[in-house]
């Protein structure tokens, strides 16, 4: 479990609270029969989630709903960074939040143009299913804290398999803008 909050984040949160601005989250109805498609404000084409991303997004948002926390919105930019991190874990055969290639998760997000005010990361290795990895994160206090953190508004997922000491590598990256 890893999370970070920069000084700008405190300022933005303060200003939002001060002005009383509230943004409505994007609500996505998920069903097992159809692929989730999310249209982002500045995109022409909808974003297709892979089946594992759809399943993880559903599980994360169900857990948040059970705790009365707003759902997270899938962010393809954050997902790109999460996928690069998952591949980096496999390629460089390490299991740490600090990447020998990209540095800390917050640094990695910034390197790839994600302008965040708060960020967090969950990583896991060796699990063979979405159910197994999600349950492992929910059973770990620090990982659960990231999943249920009401400050986070967006999420992206990464998954790599086929090598390293663990065979599978899972990444969740969380952000607030």
All domains of the chain in start order, with CATH:
51-176 (3.40.33.10)
pLDDT at 41 over 60: no
pLDDT tens-digit series, residues 64-120: 999 999 999 999 999 999 999 999 999 999 999 999 999 999 999 999 999 999 999
State the CB neighbour count (10 A cutoff) for residue 27.
Answer: 9
Across the chain, mean pLDDT equals: 82
Is the CB of residue 118 less than 8 Å from the CB of residue 16? Answer: no
Is the CB of residue 175 less than 8 Å from the CB of residue 114? Answer: yes
pTM, two decimals, is: 0.74
What 13-17 contacts at long range (C-beta under 8 Å, 24+ apart), as own/partner pairs, is: 13/117, 13/151
What's the pLDDT score for residue 50? 83
Of the spans 33-37, 48-52, 138-142, which averages the highest pLDDT?
138-142
Q: Half-sphere exposure (CA, 13 Å, Cβ side) for 59? A: 19
% of the chain exceeding 70 in pLDDT = 72
Helix (H, G, I), strand (E, B) or coil at 51: helix
CA dist 36 → 22, 33, 116, 134, 166 (Å): 25, 10, 25, 19, 29
């Amino acid at each position: 479990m890893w999370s970070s909050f920069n000084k700008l984040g405190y300022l933005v949160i303060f200003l939002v609270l001060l002005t009383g601005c509230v943004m409505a989250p994007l609500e996505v109805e998920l069903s097992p029969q159809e692929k989730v498609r999310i249209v982002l404000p500045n995109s022409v084409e909808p974003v297709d989630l892979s089946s594992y991303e759809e399943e993880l997004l559903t599980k994360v948002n169900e857990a948040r709903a059970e705790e009365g926390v707003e759902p997270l919105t899938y962010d393809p930019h954050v997902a790109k960074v999460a996928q690069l991190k998952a591949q980096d874990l496999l390629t460089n055969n390490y299991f740490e939040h600090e990447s020998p290639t990209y540095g800390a998760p917050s640094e990695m997000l910034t390197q790839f143009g994600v302008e965040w005010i708060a960020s967090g990361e969950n990583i896991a290795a060796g699990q063979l299913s979405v159910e197994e990895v999600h349950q492992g994160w929910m059973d770990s206090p620090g990982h659960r804290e990231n999943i249920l953190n009401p400050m986070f508004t967006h999420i992206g997922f990464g998954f790599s398999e086929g090598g390293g000491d663990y065979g599978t590598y899972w990444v969740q990256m969380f952000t607030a803008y």
